[in-house]
Amino acid sequence: MKDLKKITLALPEYILLAAAVFYWFSAGILINYVAISLVIGLILQIVFKFRVLGIVLPSFLMLTSFYMLLALISEFNEFPTFSYEAKKLLFVGLTLFIGTMFISGLMFFKYAFTRSRSAS
């Protein structure tokens, strides 16, 4: 049971790492400094569990996802009709960005409201 709880608590970092790697490969640019920084930051977070990085990294991801959500809505408004392409854009975009915001929020609350190991 403790192993299941440990895996569940570590899940947001692994999901965000998978999303960052997907972003890196889908961007089509080998040297993508944003993706490299996200991957390195998430790997460091998985290994060392820094509290500050555990708060800053998901905050950055939540703000970026919110910005991209606004861009998605702006792009959606350019469609003249609610066509199949508009539905696909809306479904995939909302799933991706709201999912990222939710998982980043879980990671944020995990590190923001837990005691550090040195304090206990």
Q: Please, where are the H alpha helices in 1-120?
A: 2-27, 33-48, 51-77, 84-112
- pLDDT at site 116: 61
Q: What is the pLDDT of residues 66-80, one digit of tens each?
A: 999 999 999 999 999
Structural domain boundaries, residue 79: 2-112
Is 120 inside a domain boundary?
Answer: no
Residue 102 in any domain: the answer is yes
This prediction's pTM? 0.85
Does residue 117 sit within a domain?
A: no
Number of domains in the chain: 1
Identify whether 118 is part of a domain.
no
Residue spans of the chain under pLDDT 70: 116-120
5-44 exposure pattern, b = at least 16 Cβ within 10 A, e = fewer: eeeeeeebbebbbebbeebbeeeeeeebeebeebbebbee
Residue 27 has what pLDDT? 86
